[in-house]
C-alpha cells in the first residue's frame, strides 16, 4: 500500500505543477528606465486601489480603444458638463445672482459646446442625454444664484497646475511634481472653498468617498488640492468639497468635507507613502478590486479567467 500511495502522491504533485504551468501568467512590471517624476492628484486613488493597475494606467499609459459613439458614456457626459461649467466659470455672468439669466446662459453654453464637440449627425440617444444634462444645469442655475446671493464669488475656474512647479517632497529629499486641475475656487471674504464638480448618477459626499472607516484613505484628490491652492498664495480658511449635479435634480447642491487637521495631516502622510512606493517601483502584485472601475485592465489582470494564475 505504501508504494501505491507514494505513486498517487507523485501524480498529484505532477498534476499541480502542470496546472500551474498551464495557467495564464499576468505580465510582471518591468524596471523603469527612469524614475517617475510627475503624479496627477487623481492617480493616487488608483495606486491606493491597486499598485499594478496604477502601473498599467499611469506608467505604461495603457488605454482601452472604443470607437462606439451611439451614446455618451459616463466619462464623455461628465466631460461635456465640465466643459460647459468651465466656460461659465470663466465667463462674465459667473457671479450673477439672477437664476433666469444663469439658466438661459447655461443653456446657450450647452448648445454651443455640444455643437463644437459632438457630431452634427449624432444619435437620438445622445440628444436625449444632452436634454438630461440641460435639466441638471437648470437646477444648477437655481443653486448658483442662491450661492451668489449668499456672498460667494467664483475667483478661479478650471485652473490647471500642469508644470506649475508644485512638489511633494519625501524625508530623503526625493520628490515628484504634482499635476492637477481644480474645477473651481470660491471666495467670501477670508473664506475659500475648493470645489470639484461631480456628475455621477447618485450623490456621494466627499468625506466617505475619500476616507473609509475600515480601509483608511482611498482617495487623496481633495486633500492634495490644498497643496495646489497654496501655490496661489491663498490665506485664510480653505474648505474642500463637491458641487454635485446628479440625475435627481432636486439634489443638486454643494457638499463639504469635515476632515480635521489631524485627518488632513494623515492624508498628507498617506500621499507621501504612495510617492515613496511609486519611486521605489512597488507595483506588484495586483489587488482585488471592483472590476467596474478598472474594467479596461480585466484581460491583462485575468479578472475573469477560469485558469488565472494564483498569486502568492
pLDDT value for 69 = 47
Please name every residue paired with 154 in a beta bridge, in sequence order, or none if there are none: 186
Q: How many domains does the chain have?
A: 1
* Cβ within 8 Å of residue 133, ≥6 positions away: 77, 80, 81, 84, 110
Whether 30 is covered by a domain: the verdict is no
Asked if 252 and 136 touch (Cβ cutoff 8 Å), the reply is yes
* pLDDT digits 0-9 by tens, 95-108: 999 999 999 999 99
pLDDT value for 11 = 46
Whether 23 is covered by a domain: the verdict is no
pLDDT value for 1 = 42
pLDDT value for 125 = 76
pLDDT value for 119 = 62
Whether 17 is covered by a domain: the verdict is no
With 90 as the cut, is the pLDDT of residue 88 above it? Answer: yes
Please name every residue paired with 168 in a beta bridge, in sequence order, or none if there are none: 176
Whether 21 is covered by a domain: the verdict is no
Kindly write down the DSSP assignment for every residue of 187-213, as one continuous string: EETTEEEEEEEE--SS---HHHHHEET
The helix/strand/coil state of 50 is coil
With 60 as the cut, is the pLDDT of residue 71 above it? Answer: no
Domain hosting 169: range is 74-276
| CA 138/CA 198 separation, integer angstroms | 15
Q: How large is the average pLDDT for residues 30-46?
A: 97
With 70 as the cut, is the pLDDT of residue 70 above it? Answer: no
pLDDT value for 183 = 98
With 90 as the cut, is the pLDDT of residue 173 above it? Answer: yes
* CA distances (Å), origin 134, targets 39, 110, 119, 295: 34, 7, 18, 29
With 50 as the cut, is the pLDDT of residue 82 above it? Answer: yes
pLDDT band, residue 247 (cuts 50/70/90)? very high
Whether 180 is covered by a domain: the verdict is yes
Q: How large is the average pLDDT for residues 13-28?
A: 58
Closest to 154 (Cα-Cα) out of 164, 165, 140, 167: 140
pLDDT value for 5 = 43
pLDDT value for 126 = 80
pLDDT band, residue 18 (cuts 50/70/90)? very low
* pLDDT digits 0-9 by tens, 197-224: 999 988 899 999 999 999 999 999 999 9
Minimum mean pLDDT among 13-22, 120-129, 151-160: which range? Answer: 13-22
pLDDT value for 19 = 42
With 90 as the cut, is the pLDDT of residue 30 above it? Answer: yes
Whether 306 is covered by a domain: the verdict is no
pLDDT value for 306 = 56
pLDDT value for 75 = 73
Whether 270 is covered by a domain: the verdict is yes
**Whose grid coordinates read 444663469?**
102
pLDDT value for 76 = 82
CATH of the domain at 135: 3.40.1350.10
* pLDDT digits 0-9 by tens, 262-310: 999 999 999 999 999 999 999 999 988 775 566 777 778 776 665 566 6
Mean pLDDT over all residues of the chain?
87
H or E element at residue 242: strand 237-244
pTM value is 0.86
With 80 as the cut, is the pLDDT of residue 14 above it? Answer: no
DSSP 240: E
Q: Give the three cell numbers for residue 227.
A: 497643496
Whether 28 is covered by a domain: the verdict is no
Minimum mean pLDDT among 13-27, 48-62, 267-281: which range? Answer: 13-27
Amino acid at each position: 500500500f505504501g508504494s501505491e500511495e507514494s505513486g498517487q502522491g507523485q501524480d498529484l504533485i505532477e498534476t499541480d505543477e502542470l496546472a500551474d504551468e498551464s495557467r495564464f501568467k499576468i505580465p510582471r512590471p518591468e524596471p523603469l528606465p527612469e524614475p517617475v517624476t510627475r503624479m496627477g492628484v487623481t492617480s493616487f486613488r488608483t495606486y491606493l486601489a491597486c499598485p499594478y493597475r496604477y502601473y498599467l494606467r499611469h506608467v505604461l499609459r495603457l488605454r482601452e480603444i472604443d470607437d462606439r459613439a451611439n451614446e455618451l458614456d459616463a466619462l464623455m457626459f461628465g466631460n461635456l458638463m465640465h466643459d460647459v461649467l468651465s466656460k461659465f466659470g470663466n465667463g462674465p455672468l459667473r457671479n450673477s445672482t439672477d437664476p433666469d439669466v444663469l439658466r438661459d446662459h447655461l443653456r446657450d453654453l450647452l448648445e454651443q459646446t455640444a455643437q463644437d464637440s459632438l457630431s452634427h449627425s449624432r444619435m437620438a440617444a445622445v440628444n436625449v442625454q444632452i436634454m438630461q444634462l440641460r435639466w441638471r444645469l437648470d437646477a444648477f442655475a437655481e443653486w448658483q444664484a442662491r450661492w451668489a446671493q449668499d456672498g460667494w464669488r467664483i475667483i478661479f475656474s478650471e485652473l490647471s497646475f500642469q508644470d506649475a512647479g508644485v512638489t511633494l517632497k519625501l524625508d530623503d529629499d526625493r520628490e515628484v511634481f504634482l499635476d492637477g486641475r481644480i474645477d473651481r475656487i470660491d471666495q467670501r471674504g477670508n473664506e475659500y472653498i475648493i470645489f470639484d464638480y461631480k456628475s455621477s448618477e447618485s450623490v456621494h459626499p466627499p468625506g466617505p468617498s475619500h476616507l473609509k472607516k475600515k480601509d483608511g484613505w482611498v482617495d487623496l484628490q481633495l486633500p492634495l488640492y490644498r497643496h495646489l491652492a497654496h501655490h496661489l498664495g491663498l490665506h485664510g480658511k480653505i474648505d474642500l468639497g463637491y458641487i454635485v449635479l446628479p440625475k435627481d435634480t432636486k439634489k443638486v447642491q454643494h457638499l463639504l468635507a469635515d476632515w480635521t487637521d489631524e485627518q488632513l495631516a494623515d492624508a498628507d502622510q498617506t500621499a507621501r507613502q504612495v510617492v515613496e512606493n511609486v519611486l521605489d517601483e512597488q507595483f506588484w502584485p495586483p489587488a482585488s478590486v471592483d472590476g467596474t472601475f478598472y474594467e479596461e485592465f480585466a484581460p491583462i489582470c485575468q479578472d475573469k479567467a477560469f485558469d488565472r494564475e494564483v498569486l502568492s
